[in-house]
């Protein structure tokens, strides 16, 4: 009778999210929960996990957990052709959050990755659902044979995890039960042996060894979480802005200051942009006029240079012609002088001969 009383659910409280504006201090039992994965049980792999919140306040949204699963070398009267033995220890860190709607003070993200990671949406369709994301590191020992060949060895796995939690029941003793959906994906460094099944001799002959790095789905979770203490998930993992009034005022003041700075910067940028626009328009017009004037002066200068060059060439040609004329005149004068001197020489010779006789 006592057990039935303790387990009697009171679902009225478990489905209502706490919206009170206060900071609650959680005891150690309030921060502790035990969980298990039903899918592993369907595969005949017993498993259990323990989770502990990092801070003792209701706005804490971080937790650490340890998961164990084990079904190694179950007893058989003969060597089975299908083998599924797994032993694993996994350490994980989770960050919980609930969907928050956009407000006039929150800007929407522009990049796809930022929108994907942001908890902000146009509307919160499932207000009682708590989401989580995080990372994990696991050590896995396995022997799996589902076909002609099997693999047996060890693996170190690291990756990310994500999922959701919905409240189911809150018991009369204050404990509560939650439903979990999630997945864990990552990269595994595995070193293992390859073997086959010899049904005639009833043993597993080894056929090879292999070391590899490969992507892997470490876990698909459809499970339950049993929360100890008297603080269900509907009161936990809240935004500090909603519970801490001093933080809210400080946040609003900072947001208001940032907005004022942004508006001032936007105004200054607009004024500066307008002033720069006027300046560059005037500068461009003056530059254009100066360019035209400079081009005109340059053309005039070029014309003057051309005229000066032509005049200089003309003077050189005239001087050259004068020199040539003077040279020709000198040649003609010299020639006349030579012609005038040629008849006198014979006469002088005749005269000399006559005198001698």
The mean pLDDT of 289-318, rounded to a whole number, is 76
Model pLDDT for residues 207-243, shown as the tens digit of each residue: 999 999 999 999 999 999 999 999 999 999 998 988 9
First to last CA, the chain: 193
pTM exceeds 0.85 for this model? no
**Gap between the Cα atoms of 250 and 240, Å rounded:** 12
CB proximity list for 108: less than 8 A, separation 6 or greater = 102, 115, 120
- The fold of 2-243 is Porin (2.40.160)
Q: Which residues pair with 134 in a beta bridge?
A: 94, 161
The mean pLDDT of 311-336, rounded to a whole number, is 80
Tokens for 268? 């200054």
Tokens for 55? 């801070």
**Gap between the Cα atoms of 37 and 179, Å rounded:** 10
Q: How many residues does the chain have?
A: 357
Tokens for 233? 């998930």
**Gap between the Cα atoms of 80 and 224, Å rounded:** 31
Model pLDDT for residues 19-55, shown as the tens digit of each residue: 888 999 999 999 999 999 999 999 899 999 999 999 9
Q: Taking the domains of the chain in order of start, what are their residue ranges? A: 2-243, 244-357
Tokens for 283? 């500068």
DSSP class per residue in 174-201:
S-EEEEEEEEEEEEEEEEEEEEE-BTTT
């Amino acid at each position: 009778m006592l057990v039935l009383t303790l387990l009697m659910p009171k679902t009225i409280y478990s489905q209502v999210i706490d919206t009170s504006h206060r900071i609650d201090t959680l005891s150690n039992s309030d921060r502790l929960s035990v969980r298990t994965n039903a899918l592993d049980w369907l595969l005949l792999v017993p498993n259990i996990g323990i989770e502990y919140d990092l801070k003792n306040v209701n706005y804490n949204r971080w937790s650490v957990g340890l998961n164990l699963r084990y079904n190694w070398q179950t007893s058989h009267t003969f060597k089975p052709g299908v083998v599924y033995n797994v032993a694993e220890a996994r350490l994980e860190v989770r960050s919980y959050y609930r969907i928050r709607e956009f407000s006039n003070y929150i800007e929407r993200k522009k990049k796809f990755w930022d929108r994907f990671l942001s908890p902000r949406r146009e509307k919160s369709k499932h207000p009682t659902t708590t989401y989580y994301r995080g990372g994990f590191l696991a050590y896995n020992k396995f022997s799996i044979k589902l076909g002609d060949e099997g693999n047996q060895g060890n693996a170190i796995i690291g990756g990310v995890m994500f999922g959701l939690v919905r409240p189911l029941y809150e018991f009369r003793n204050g404990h509560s039960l939650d439903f979990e959906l999630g997945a864990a994906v990552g990269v595994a460094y595995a070193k293992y042996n390859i073997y086959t099944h010899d049904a005639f001799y009833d043993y597993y002959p080894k056929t090879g060894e292999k070391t590899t790095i490969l992507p892997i789905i470490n876990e698909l979770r459809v499970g339950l979480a049993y929360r100890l203490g008297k603080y269900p998930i509907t009161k936990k993992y809240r935004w500090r802005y909603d519970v801490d009034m001093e933080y809210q005022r400080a946040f609003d003041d900072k947001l208001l200051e940032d907005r004022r700075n942004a508006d001032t910067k936007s105004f200054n940028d607009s004024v500066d942009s307008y002033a720069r626009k006027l300046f560059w328009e005037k500068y461009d017009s003056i530059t254009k006029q100066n360019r035209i004037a400079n081009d005109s002066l340059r053309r005039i200068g070029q014309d003057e240079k051309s005229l000066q060059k032509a005049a200089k060439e003309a003077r050189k040609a005239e001087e050259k012609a004068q020199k040539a004329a003077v040279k020709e005149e000198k040649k003609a004068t010299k020639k006349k002088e030579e012609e005038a001197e040629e008849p006198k020489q014979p006469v002088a010779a005749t005269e000399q001969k006559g005198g001698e006789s």
